[in-house]
Structure 1
Amino acid sequence: MSLFLFLSIAQRMRFSAFCLGLAIVCGVGSGHADTLSSSAPIAYLSEVETNTVLFSKSPVTPFQPGALAKIMTAASVFRALESGTVQETTLCPVSVHAWRTGGAPAGGATMFAELNSNIAISDLLQGLLIQQANDAAIVLAECLDGDEAAFARRMNEDAEDIGLENSLFANPTGYAAQEAQTTASDLARLARYILETFPDRYTLFSSPEFTWNGIFQRNRNPLIGEIRGLDGFGAGRSDTDGYAAVASIERDGRRIIAVVANLPSESAREKALDDLVDGAWEYFGVRTLFDRGDTVAMARVFGGTAGEVPLVASGPIEVLLPRGETLGYRLRVTYDGPLTAPVTPGLRAGELLVLGETGIVYRAPLETGGPAIEKGTLVTRALDGLVELLFGWI
């Protein structure tokens, strides 16, 4: 595998290395018959194990989440349970506001929580995620923070901590609010966070049924049973931005996360999601770019007995890439440098980025290889300093 490596200064003391023309990755075809596309105006597809972005279309275009806001509501409750702020057995009162706004009188999705009753958080979570119950969402918000506005602040603080960069949640239900917005990439990140951090609670999303207050209801996610392997997350709609969905699908040992939005109907949403999901298995396969310990690039060293140190793969670098050769990909290595001697092996010192047509599709950590580079003599360090002063590090 041959690399054409160039180092250039992005900022003082920061470097980027580019790998162009990697034959095993970069395609030369010009046709598009074998490439993945989507009818959805907004679409995002990623693979969980390798954290590879397989498809991205308008990933940061904002849209109103509708009922998809309940995924963030669930994440905030999961985090509160994890921190010990509340327990599954904590009883939450059903207020007049929760009953009237989200319960049976409202005519929407409800778990039929009885006014002035007390419900355990474990049962409210089932109502929230199996029945998409608005009363459950409001009761949980009031139980944790007193009212919906305070809980919305919790949601946004949690969203920022998780890494959602372009989302703002206005309430726990997803009821229409002009300021509420999210993006496909944020929802995919949120989905991945729940899968990785709360795998035991994730099963709630696919529980088939739930009975409360003597009323039996099946799982209200319209996509479960319609798309093979889909076992979690949900669907939403807003008057301004149409139909959207977040889905997690596992087939043949591979799990992917898919997001579609801005669709005109339920049927269009299902078809767009189904086509996108099928593409993960039809068009992509795992390719090993580097094995553990392989040298990926060389990093400059300041003031050492050697001027360069190898940056090596800290583990196998396996990426889902198109089976054909119609998509162009590039590799980029970034690191903060030059590294200052002494430099020992195993130091986390850089990152390999795989770039597709829409941006970064994969990233992997790099570490310094051996042997160790000791601090150089006073003369060596003085010469390195002079070179940097006169020419910068190139």
Structure 2
Amino acid sequence: MFKVKNNLSLVLVIILSLKIFFSFKNEIFAENKAKFAILADYNTGAIIYEKNADEKMFPSSMTKIMTTYLLFSALDSKQITLDQKLQVSTKASSINGSKMFIKEGSYVRVDDIIRGIIVQSGNDACIALSENLSGTESAFVEKMNLTAEQLGMKNTKFVNSSGWPNPEQVTTARDLAILSKALIHDFPQYYHYHSEKEFKYNNILQQNRNSLLSIKSVDGIKTGRTELGGYGVAFSAKKDGYRIIGVINGLNSAKERHESAAELISFSFNQFTHKFIYKSGDIIGETNVIYGNKRKINAIITSDITVFIPKIFSKNENNSLNQNNPLIELYLKQNIKAPIKIGDNLGYILFKQRMLAGNEIKIPVVANENINKGSFIEHLAQNISFLVAKFI
């Protein structure tokens, strides 16, 4: 049985202050022109800003983030290598839209295909990759949808590998942010491709359409634009040791897209910071032990806790609290029978905060010492105390 043993007041101060700040923040961004938007801290997953983040939208060429995710996965598993050459089919070479300009029957290095997809946004490169990895583009798309499901992208459906306009190909800002975070986390060794500003292939030099790369802190990720979806971008930026990820879509122009994303990036770095709360091994509370040689045991936290908070609250730990509405709680098992070993689970800390992948996070708390069974006399004394307690 679990029981709320203690409120973590320090963390409560920070998170409840965030709640107050968010209402102020949403007024700041009321004029952001994106129809769909989400901005989150990469490390914690905490949401900084969102607007229609769970409404379905058209991903356009931001679809290519999933295509490159599967490409990087194939490299990581050694299914392919960077120097391997992929054959270009008629279908790949003849597709319309943005292109790498690869020729039918030619062989293209995987390393070039990567840049063709990311830098040049080549639809032809996407099809060439998908056919070489899975036999057909449709088989590759099945892998895209399976991977989306595995990553927790709950409102996404892919029907092609390039983002070519199709009313059935839909996603959400939240889902693309989840994918973007997974891309950076799972394949850091390949992420550098997303920061490249230009690429020449077949004597054709093309600039990366992601104008946000002109901002020093930005290192990716992918733009998109179709008549159905408008202008959008999934982006990431890193400054002073922390990273943010964001997605905006539904803008009317490339200029509007750049300005809207730049505003979000500037706000997050100027107004937010990380604050260290607890380190692994800190005592977080205590609970009762029965039939042991001790009556109490301390619960310790199993990992460091850092929160992403507004700078205006980072030095103030004495804000007023609404104790009837805690957003972080400690749940401890009660009356645990001995013996207990170091590391045995004693409960968890529950974080109730708007996150990228859900609104709750549980962090286990465990025993910090061994407690052996008590002697017969200790058992007898404890049973008597339980009996007396029933009549008091």
1:195–1:351: structure 2 CA closer, same or farther, 3 Å change rule? farther
Distance in 2 (CA, whole Å) between partners of 1:32 and 1:175 is 36
Does 2:41 align with 1:47?
yes
The equivalent residue for 1:276 is: 264
CA distance in 2: counterparts of 1:365 and 1:333, whole angstroms: 10
Select 1:59's aligned residue among 46, 53, 60. Answer: 53
Cα deviation 1:62-91 (Å, max 9, x = unaligned): 212110010000000111111122222332
Q: 2:94 aligns with which of 92, 97, 100?
A: 100
Q: Tell me which moved more, 15-24 or 191-200.
A: 15-24
Stretch of structure 1 that moved more, 31-40 or 157-166 = 31-40
Deviation at 1:236, TM superposition (A): 1.4
1:145 & 1:31 partners in 2: Cα distance? 48
What is the aligned partner in structure 2 of residue 144 from structure 1?
133
* Among 196, 205, 219, the residue aligned to 1:231: 219
Normalising by structure 2, what TM-score?
A: 0.80
CA contact (8 A) 2:338 2:373 kept: yes
Which of 302, 318, 322 aligns to 2:310? It is 322
Q: 1:180, CA displacement in angstroms?
A: 1.8
Mapped to 1, the partners of 2:87 and 2:320 lie a distance apart of 55
1:130 paired with 2:119, answer: yes
Alignment match, 2:156? 167
Deviation string, structure 1 residues 351-393 (Cα, Å, up to 9, x no partner): 534434689678473331322234678997xx99xx9xxxxxx
- In 1, are the aligned partners of 2:2 and 2:347 still within 8 Å (CA)? no
RMSD: 3.6
Question: Could you say if the C-alpha distance between residues 354 and 262 of structure 1 is closer, same or farther in structure 2, counting changes exceeding 3 Å?
Answer: farther
Equivalent pair of 2:8/2:330 in contact (CA under 8 Å): no
The answer as to 2:76 corresponding to 1:88 is no
Deviation digits for residues 104-151 of structure 1, max 9, x if unmatched? xx2x21111011111122211111111111100000000011111100
What displacement does 1:35 show? 2.8
- Aligned in 2, Cα 1:232/1:338: closer, same or farther, shift over 3 Å? farther
Could you tell me which residue of structure 2 aligns to residue 178 of structure 1? 167
Which of 255, 260, 269 is residue 267 of structure 1 equivalent to?
255
CA contact (8 A) 1:263 1:269 kept: yes
Percent of matched pairs sharing the same residue = 28
Question: Could you tell me whether the CA contact under 8 Å between 1:16 and 1:335 is conserved in 2?
Answer: yes
Counterpart Cα distance in 2 of 1:120 and 1:44: 35
Segments of 5+ residues of structure 2 without an aligned counterpart are: 314-318, 387-392
1:32-54 deviations in Å (ceiling 9; x for gaps)? 79535432343222222344332
The residue number in structure 1 matching 2:72 is 78
**Residue 156 of structure 1 pairs with residue 142 of structure 2:** no
Give matches, 1:31-42, under 5 Å: 35=25, 37-38=28-29, 39=32, 40-42=34-36
C-alpha separation between the residues in 2 aligned to 1:177 and 1:154?
18
Q: Tell me: CA distance 1:357–1:145, structure 2 relative to 1, closer, same or farther (3 Å).
A: closer
Change over 3 Å in CA distance of 1:335–1:121 after alignment to 2: farther
Q: Report the CA distance between 1:323 and its aligned residue.
A: 2.5
Q: What is the TM-score of this pair, normalised by structure 1?
A: 0.79
1:205 alignment counterpart: 194
Corresponding residue number in structure 1 for 2:343: 346
The 8 Å contact of residues 319 and 362 in structure 1, kept in 2 or not, is answered as no
SS for the counterpart of 2:267 is: helix
- Alpha carbons of 1:373 and 1:61: their partners in 2 closer, same or farther (altered >3 Å)? farther
Per the alignment, residue 246 of structure 1 pairs with 234
Residues 35, 327 of structure 1: 8 Å contact kept: no
Structure 1: where are the runs of 5+ without partners? 1-12, 388-394
2-side partners of 1:67 and 1:310: how far apart? 52
User: How far, CA to CA, are the matches of 1:316 and 1:362 in structure 2?
Assistant: 17
Task: Report the structure number with the largest CA radius of gyration.
Answer: 2
How many Å separate the matches in 2 of 1:18 and 1:176? 53
In 2, Cα distance between the equivalents of 1:264 and 1:308? Answer: 63
Following TM superposition, by how much is the alpha carbon of 1:153 offset from its aligned partner in structure 2, in angstroms?
Answer: 0.6
What is the match of residue 332 of structure 1?
329
Q: Secondary structure at the match of 2:212?
A: coil
CA contact (8 A) 2:354 2:360 kept: no
